[in-house]
Structure 1
């Protein structure tokens, strides 16, 4: 059920678009290329298993965990444009 002047299914389409956009953002954030043998941050060796599991990895697990801790959530898009969605 749509509200106002929107068509039926528009809300689900907005949800699907938001999920698709977030997946695309996450895919672009993945490392690419040849994995480093030593961490770019602390110069500790990166284990072979990690280099094979994450192609293009540049950081050891500890440094990656620290970087991920400081990365905040993305703002996303306000697809609805309604007052309620703008108040979040």
Structure 2
């Protein structure tokens, strides 16, 4: 698809770069290292099974769910795909 002075495939290159950035960001949020025995947010004990399954875990299930919900509610990307929605 041609878009002005951009080379053929430029749109796909931009899409690929966006996906790469999203993957890098997701990987950077993965926990690493030694798991904590207690949640760093609320201090509740983290079950041994959770510590085994997720190396480097730092939050209890409840705090992790709250964090995940906050991330879902905030997205800087317009996922509606409509140019009209960008103008609102």
Q: Which residue of 1 aligns with 2:8?
A: 8
Instruction: Figure out how many residues of one structure are paired with residues of the other and give that number.
Output: 78
Distance 1:49 1:2 in 2: 53
5+ residue gaps, structure 2, are 78-82
TM-score by length of 2: 0.76
Deviations 1:29-79 (A, max 9, x none): 111110011111222221222112211111111111112222322x36xxx
Runs of 4+ aligned structure 1 residues displaced above 6 Å come to none
Residue correspondence of structure 1 range 1-88 to structure 2 within 5 A: 1-71=1-71, 72-73=74-75, 75=76, 84=83, 87=86
Q: How large is the RMSD of aligned CA atoms in angstroms?
A: 1.7
Deviations 1:2-27 (A, max 9, x none): 22111111111100000000110111
TM-score by length of 1: 0.76
5+ residue gaps, structure 1, are 77-83
SS of residue matched to 2:21: helix
Distance 2:11 2:70 in 1: 32
